[in-house]
Amino acid sequence: MDTRKKRYNAIDFLRGFTIINMIIFHGLFDLENFYGFNFNHDFYYYQQYICISFILISGYSTHFSNNFKKKFLILTGLSILITLGSYIFSREDAIYFGIIHFFAAASLIHMLLKNYLKKINPRLGLILNTLLFVTLKKIYYGSIFFGKVLVPKSFYNLNLFFLGLPSENFYSGDYFPIIPWIFLFYMGYFLFDFVKFTKKEASPGFINVMGRHSLLIYFLHQIILIGVFSLIFSFN
């Protein structure tokens, strides 16, 4: 009997490739913000590519996981550590609702909705979530429909930052509120019916290994980057 573990290698590769790009992006960010480098370049679209890839892959991967309660608890614990750690390191850039916070919230939401989502036509679900994501993309900046419709300021008075309705003075060093990103997450979920991958023997490739350990790498990579940069620049 073949007891070797089977994996969706394509998903591992895509996740690993994205995590490598995330490390590069955060390395550039750290150099520019903490070590005086000036790249004279806006990395916004690079950052968007990375986070959009992560969230789509995560939504797609819900079809491979059943223990959402355990996942929710782990992500919630990591979110608390990230908030505390970022606050201690730099109060001005503390992360109150970053991408790991979002994934924790998405895990909880999916636990509550998964049985209902199975009843939705995949094509309809994909179209609706795409429309909602695109039209609500800028809601936390105060507008919807590509900036053409302003959201009443009263909606932001309660500082429901986790929903995408932050107060005027709210700031988070990394910010991924439930709205609009949950709709991108479910775009990934409904893509499952249109894009299929086959399970194979787990690939030993470097990128695939990175993909299989993406959460651990995410949690540790900034600590390692700061440590490496601090060591390098301590000689200057």
Question: Is pTM beyond 0.85 here?
Answer: yes
According to the model, what pLDDT value does residue 200 have?
Answer: 85
Task: Evaluate whether residue 121 is within a structural domain.
Answer: yes
Q: Which residues pair with 165 in a beta bridge?
A: 160
User: Would you call 73 helix, strand, or coil by DSSP?
Assistant: helix
Q: What percent of the chain has pLDDT over 70?
A: 98
Rounded Cα gap, residues 225 and 80, in angstroms? 21
Across the range 54-78, mean pLDDT stands at: 92
Task: Evaluate whether residue 132 is within a structural domain.
Answer: yes
Tens of pLDDT, residues 6-49: 888 999 999 999 999 999 999 998 898 888 888 888 888 999 99
Task: Evaluate whether residue 1 is within a structural domain.
Answer: no
Task: Evaluate whether residue 129 is within a structural domain.
Answer: yes
Tokens representing residue 121 in the block: 């036509």
User: Would you call 32 helix, strand, or coil by DSSP?
Assistant: helix
Task: Evaluate whether residue 95 is within a structural domain.
Answer: yes
Residue 199 contacts residue 6 (beta carbons within 8 Å): yes
Task: Evaluate whether residue 182 is within a structural domain.
Answer: yes
The number of domains in the chain is 1
Residue 180's closest CA among 71, 51, 8, 46?
Answer: 51
- In the chain, which residue ranges form alpha helices assigned H by DSSP? 9-34, 44-61, 68-89, 99-117, 122-136, 178-191, 206-212, 214-233
The single-letter code of the amino acid at 30 is: D
Cis peptide before 152 (omega within 30 of 0): no
What is residue 140's DSSP assignment?
A: G
Task: Evaluate whether residue 207 is within a structural domain.
Answer: yes
Task: Evaluate whether residue 126 is within a structural domain.
Answer: yes
Enclosing domain of residue 205: 6-233
Tell me the Cα Rg of the chain: 19
Please say if the pLDDT value at position 235 is more than 90: no
Tens of pLDDT, residues 133-172: 999 999 999 999 988 899 999 999 999 999 999 999 999 9
